Structure 1
Amino acid sequence: MRADESYEYHMARLLILLHHFGKPNTSGLDGLTKLAKLDFLLRYPSFTDRLLPERDASWPPDCEPNPDERNAVESRMIRYKYGPWDNRYYPLIGKLVGCGLAEIVHGKGRICIRLTDTGDQMAGELGATPEWRIVFERSKMLRRRFNLSGNRLKGMIYESLPDAVNRPHWEEI
């Protein structure tokens, strides 16, 4: 099965991302816009490459995208009204919540997502495996360099990556 067809693959990636942005006993990751933009940066290393100098950042050691990653798309996203989006976020978040790995909390007028202790532990265990170590380290770098509001991330993507957003709505990126 291809990576973009596996809900488990996407759930694992979101668990790792939330490990860095939505720890248990915090206010969580604030809003689906922020989740979508961070996930975009994680899934599209060639676009992230172009933003790193603006954030005075670089890839973690041994985590720089290889040529295949720079040229391939690991999983399609769709250009929606507010930029890159994946229509699987709602069911994926629902599955994480239903499995007791994440919970929804209400924040500044938006839905916030945070991991449960079980989800956080699972994310840490996943990140320690060879298959997920790079995703874990890249997510950690995103936390250090791109921990901005969803609107600020959206603005940065619109301003610096017009080729990702200057597409007709509903077109694959």
Structure 2
Amino acid sequence: MPHTRFMRRSSLAIAAVALTGALMACAPSSGSTPLPQQTAPVQSLEDACQIASSEVDRVVTETEAELRASTDQALTDLRNGTVPSFSLPSVSVDGTLETIEDQITNPRVLERVTAVRDQLAALGEMPTPDTLLGVTTYVTDLVRQISVIVDSGNALRELCGITVTAP
């Protein structure tokens, strides 16, 4: 009998050591790679468009209307022989679009909202002409930039299934 007890205890000890070894092999070591962080689920296209559409549409439409009016006035001034004063849009673009960008996690919608913001920012960086000779180039560049802004807005509208309306 004593031999049986010894065998049983030895078997239990060996099993415990084996189990401990197996568990240690499964446990993360100090040099192991960390588990990936959980990321928020990708926002649906519909949800992202809901956030972006009304504000971006409003900003683009207002900016386009103001720029067209400014360009038309500048061309009228030129035809009348006066030096045009170019007024850029008064729309508060950066704050509005940055607020929208903070709420959007859908990469497709975010890419288009960022494109609209970047194009509007590029418009604000356009230097106005110092002389009458620079007016033609400025107006040409301004019209080109308006077209790029409208195209960026239309790309977002198209992605979100928004019907483009005339201002």
Which interval holds the TM-score relative to the shorter structure?
under 0.3
Indicate the structure whose relative CO is greater, using CA pairs within 8 Å and at least 6 residues apart. 1
Asked which structure has the greater CA Rg, the reply is: 2
TM-score by length of 2: 0.25
Higher share in helix: 2
Higher share in strand: 1
TM-score by length of 1: 0.25
